[in-house]
Homo-oligomer: A and B are copies of this chain.
Amino acid sequence: MKFKLVYSSLIVFALLLISMGVRSKDHPCLLLTKNGVQDIRKGIEGKSLFNKTLTKTKLEMDAVLAQPVVVPMPKDAGGGYTHERHKKNYEEMQQMGILYQLYQDDKYAAFVKNMLMEYAKMYPALPLHPVQMSNYRGKLFWQGLNECVWLVHVSQAYDCIYDYLSPKDREYLEKNLFYPMVKFFSEDNKATFNKIHNHGTWAVAAVGMIGYVMNDNDLVEKSLYGLSKDGKGGFMRQLDELFSPDGYFTEGPYYQRYSMQPFIVYAQAIQNNDPQRKIFEHRDHILEKAVGTLLQMADSNGAFFLLNDALYKTWRNTELVYGTDIIYNITKDKTLLSIAADQNRVILTEAGLAVANDLLKGEAKPFQQKTILIRDGADGSQGGLGVLRMEDGDNQTCVLMKATSQGMGHGHFDKLTISLYDNGNEILKDYGAARYVNIEAKNGGHYLPENDAWAKQTIAHNTLTVNETSHYDGKLKVAEKYAPTITGFVDKENYKEVSATEENAYEGVKMERNLIMVKPEGAKNPLIVDVFKVKSMTEHQYDLSYYFAGQLMSTDYEYDAFTTSREPLGTKEGYQYLWKEALGKSKKSSASMTFLNDSRFYTITTSTNPETSLFLNRIGANDPSFNLRNEPSFMLRDRSKDRTFLTIIEPHGNFNADAEKTSSSASYIKDIRFTDVDKTQIEIQKINGDIIKVDTRNKTCVIKKQQ
């Protein structure tokens, strides 16, 4: 009877729990699962990449265990001691948590517990961070953003040691640390939490993940649908709006990489806890597309295209290790294994184990970098990024046109700008961001003033600046209303093209750019044909820039070099940062300049009028703190109503410094011209008499050999 009574009570209690919506929960439940951990413990093979990563992690963390736990009072900005210490702390806790699950050794759990207790002691009384450089200040960090990143990691650590902790400890931590932090991220910073922006993604992922661990479904719902759970904010709307149907994240590849981590990590947690949500299938598998598209936005070394505010990052970065492993475990796309092999590490979860085991079985297939048009905008109508490629690996030539929407606050005023990668190097450059991330001496590691004043401005890009004014007058709100239109995309074997127009960047000025990559029969390297048409009813000053990486070898026109005194190119909108180094004019109908980058020569040959001014500029004027890189540009200037710039970019020859051998150091182009009034037929006359004919109507490139 007694037994029966207890039994009934239990049933009643369970029913009560269910009626309260509180299911009991196994831990871990976020990236690792209780079942998964069993599998991993069994499935670790000696030589696998999983085991290699695990061994390395264990070695590092065992060394950390010998050190005291330090949770300093927040004080420094990015790069400073307390900032870096709190970053290290969340990484260490996350890794200790995993080690505890895999090795079942209490020392790892104790580390996490002790550190969490320190944080819980400190957090309730913590004011806003003393460094006031962000509109979104945190408490542990100068940016609230870093604090969300902290919780995305620490929720995993807490998840891993959940069962190790006593209910009392858990209550203490949740009351003093996690709930106050959740409140800070959500109610106290409502705007960011509900924002359709990467800051919002980190915030909702942090709240949703700790929600899962604490078994608080209310937090999960808020993270998915916004603070009011009305779907106007939250993770689902971010998935719907921040990516284009092709998986392009509107801020560009640098921030796509950054936000990939909370997207993918939180999606994995949702999948493990609420598989019925089919989160990876959402919106026609948008997360798989996002990872795939991001991998396409990299050069042959795996470095992401520098677009908008961007610094050097590769697909070997941690965020992409998450992305590659977790998506591989969903799709089993064997080409992702090649990326994983290049990353040379895996995440220490079931997904990482699957990658490592399949790599060990030799299942990897080559990852193919493609010629691809990546549409921007939630519905794909906000322009896009055209990427043209020929050849593979280091021999790849890749040219791209950015004709995307503005990309929010990190966007640049750079409509129709182009970049060229070749021979494993960046040849025509996009400046990227003006920032030394986490270096205190440089504005506390934050974006430098020159990021707005220089790097975002139109003149800092390989595109057209009209009347020394940036696109949309440099106004973000205006720029966000418009996007270029992609007018053509061709991917034939020896003829590739992307074309776009932009009619709103300047009032009464229509810009159109056709970027074509051809490989004439018998040619060693592809040629880039760049046709930039600008039309207006009134006269304007047109400046077309090419930022080239390398040392100038020669020009075929004469110039005056400013050798004994130097002045800036202008006074505003980025022009004040350029020194004029030389100014010339061509006596022919074209002008060319040749530069050397690494082991290859490049010649830019461009059509000119007698009045066309040919500038050689260099970044670095008005830079008293030496914040900028002193890179050179070749710039064409004309005053007219209509102007069509025809430019050929020609990689050629070889320079072997070691062997002191040089071949084809001079351009093979003698002249270039259009042969029809519509300017659709281009003739490139070679020095040897051959003529290369590029037909942009029929999309062909043929070579007429000299008789």
Which residues of A pack against B, CB within 8 Å? 78-79, 84, 87, 311-314, 316-318, 436-442, 445, 551-554, 561, 563-568, 579, 581-582, 594, 596, 616, 618, 621-626, 629-630, 655, 657-663, 665-666
Q: How far is the CA of A188 from the CA of B564 in the complex (A)?
A: 46
A367 to chain B minimum Cβ distance, whole angstroms, is 20
A312 to chain B minimum Cβ distance, whole angstroms, is 6
Q: Which of B84, B630, B661 contacts A87 (CB 8 A)?
A: B661
Q: A79-B665, A665-B79 are in contact. Are A658 and B596 (CB under 8 A)?
A: no
Residues on the B chain within 8 Å of A445, using CB: 662
A380 to chain B minimum Cβ distance, whole angstroms, is 32
Among residues of B, the one whose C-beta sits closest to the C-beta of A628 is B551
A553–B623 contact, CB under 8 A? no
Residues on the B chain within 8 Å of A87, using CB: 661
Q: Which of B553, B561, B659 contacts A318 (CB 8 A)?
A: B659
Give 5 A-B contacts (CB < 8 Å), ordered by A residue.
A78-B662, A437-B660, A441-B666, A552-B625, A618-B630
B554–A441 contact, CB under 8 A? yes
Q: A436-B596, A661-B438 are in contact. Are A551 and B629 (CB under 8 A)?
A: yes
A623–B563 contact, CB under 8 A? yes
A314–B442 contact, CB under 8 A? no
Q: How far is the CA of A594 from the CA of B79 in the complex (A)?
A: 15
Q: How far is the CA of A662 from the CA of B438 in the complex (A)?
A: 6
Residues on the B chain within 8 Å of A616, using CB: 626
Q: How far is the CA of A78 from the CA of B658 in the complex (A)?
A: 15
B316–A658 contact, CB under 8 A? yes
Q: A563-B623, A564-B621, A658-B317 are in contact. Are A440 and B84 (CB under 8 A)?
A: no
B563–A624 contact, CB under 8 A? yes
A441–B665 contact, CB under 8 A? yes
Known: A311-B657, A440-B665, A445-B662. 13 other contacts (CB 8 A): A84-B662, A316-B658, A317-B659, A439-B553, A439-B655, A441-B553, A441-B554, A441-B666, A442-B554, A551-B629, A561-B624, A582-B624, A616-B626
B439–A79 contact, CB under 8 A? no
Q: How far is the CA of A581 from the CA of B626 in the complex (A)?
A: 10
A442–B567 contact, CB under 8 A? no
Q: How far is the CA of A438 from the CA of B601 in the complex (A)?
A: 13
Q: How far is the CA of A659 from the CA of B311 in the complex (A)?
A: 12
A616 to chain B minimum Cβ distance, whole angstroms, is 8
Among residues of B, the one whose C-beta sits closest to the C-beta of A316 is B658
Q: Which of B438, B561, B567 contacts A565 (CB 8 A)?
A: B567
Q: How far is the CA of A568 from the CA of B565 in the complex (A)?
A: 7
Residues on the B chain within 8 Å of A441, using CB: 553-554, 594, 665-666
Residues on the B chain within 8 Å of A622, using CB: 563-564
A626–B657 contact, CB under 8 A? no
Q: A441-B594, A594-B441, A658-B317 are in contact. Are A568 and B561 (CB under 8 A)?
A: no
Residues on the B chain within 8 Å of A625, using CB: 552, 561
Q: How far is the CA of A314 from the CA of B657 in the complex (A)?
A: 10
Residues on the B chain within 8 Å of A582, using CB: 624
The SS class assigned to the A binding surface is: loop
B657–A440 contact, CB under 8 A? no
A538 to chain B minimum Cβ distance, whole angstroms, is 31
Q: How far is the CA of A665 from the CA of B581 in the complex (A)?
A: 34
Q: Which of B313, B561, B566 contacts A566 (CB 8 A)?
A: B566
Q: How far is the CA of A568 from the CA of B561 in the complex (A)?
A: 14
A566–B565 contact, CB under 8 A? yes
Residues on the B chain within 8 Å of A552, using CB: 625-626
A312–B657 contact, CB under 8 A? yes
Residues on the B chain within 8 Å of A563, using CB: 621-624
Q: Which of B438, B440, B655 contacts A660 (CB 8 A)?
A: B438
Q: How far is the CA of A26 from the CA of B665 in the complex (A)?
A: 44
Among residues of B, the one whose C-beta sits closest to the C-beta of A317 is B658
Q: A84-B663, A566-B565 are in contact. Are A313 and B658 (CB under 8 A)?
A: yes
Q: How far is the CA of A312 from the CA of B660 in the complex (A)?
A: 10
Residues on the B chain within 8 Å of A313, using CB: 657-658
Residues on the B chain within 8 Å of A624, using CB: 561, 563, 582
A661–B84 contact, CB under 8 A? yes
A190 to chain B minimum Cβ distance, whole angstroms, is 28
B666–A440 contact, CB under 8 A? yes
Residues on the B chain within 8 Å of A621, using CB: 563-564
Residues on the B chain within 8 Å of A553, using CB: 436, 439, 441-442
Among residues of B, the one whose C-beta sits closest to the C-beta of A81 is B663
Q: How far is the CA of A658 from the CA of B596 in the complex (A)?
A: 28
Q: How far is the CA of A311 from the CA of B657 in the complex (A)?
A: 8
Residues on the B chain within 8 Å of A78, using CB: 662
Q: Which of B314, B596, B623, B630 contacts A439 (CB 8 A)?
A: B596
A11 to chain B minimum Cβ distance, whole angstroms, is 52
Q: How far is the CA of A372 from the CA of B661 in the complex (A)?
A: 34
Residues on the B chain within 8 Å of A663, using CB: 84
Among residues of B, the one whose C-beta sits closest to the C-beta of A566 is B566
Q: How far is the CA of A665 from the CA of B662 in the complex (A)?
A: 42
Q: How far is the CA of A407 from the CA of B661 in the complex (A)?
A: 26
Q: How far is the CA of A314 from the CA of B660 in the complex (A)?
A: 12
A84 to chain B minimum Cβ distance, whole angstroms, is 6
Q: How far is the CA of A439 from the CA of B597 in the complex (A)?
A: 13
Residues on the B chain within 8 Å of A436, using CB: 551, 553, 596
A64 to chain B minimum Cβ distance, whole angstroms, is 15
A548 to chain B minimum Cβ distance, whole angstroms, is 12
Residues on the B chain within 8 Å of A660, using CB: 437-438
Residues on the B chain within 8 Å of A438, using CB: 655, 660-662
Residues on the B chain within 8 Å of A566, using CB: 565-566, 579
Q: How far is the CA of A540 from the CA of B317 in the complex (A)?
A: 55
Among residues of B, the one whose C-beta sits closest to the C-beta of A441 is B554
Residues on the B chain within 8 Å of A312, using CB: 657-658
Q: How far is the CA of A84 from the CA of B664 in the complex (A)?
A: 10
A427 to chain B minimum Cβ distance, whole angstroms, is 17
Residues on the B chain within 8 Å of A594, using CB: 441
Q: How far is the CA of A104 from the CA of B438 in the complex (A)?
A: 64
Residues on the B chain within 8 Å of A623, using CB: 561, 563
Residues on the B chain within 8 Å of A442, using CB: 553-554
Q: How far is the CA of A245 from the CA of B658 in the complex (A)?
A: 29
Q: A318-B659, A622-B563 are in contact. Are A665 and B439 (CB under 8 A)?
A: yes
Residues on the B chain within 8 Å of A596, using CB: 436, 439
A631 to chain B minimum Cβ distance, whole angstroms, is 10
Residues on the B chain within 8 Å of A439, using CB: 553, 596, 655, 662, 665
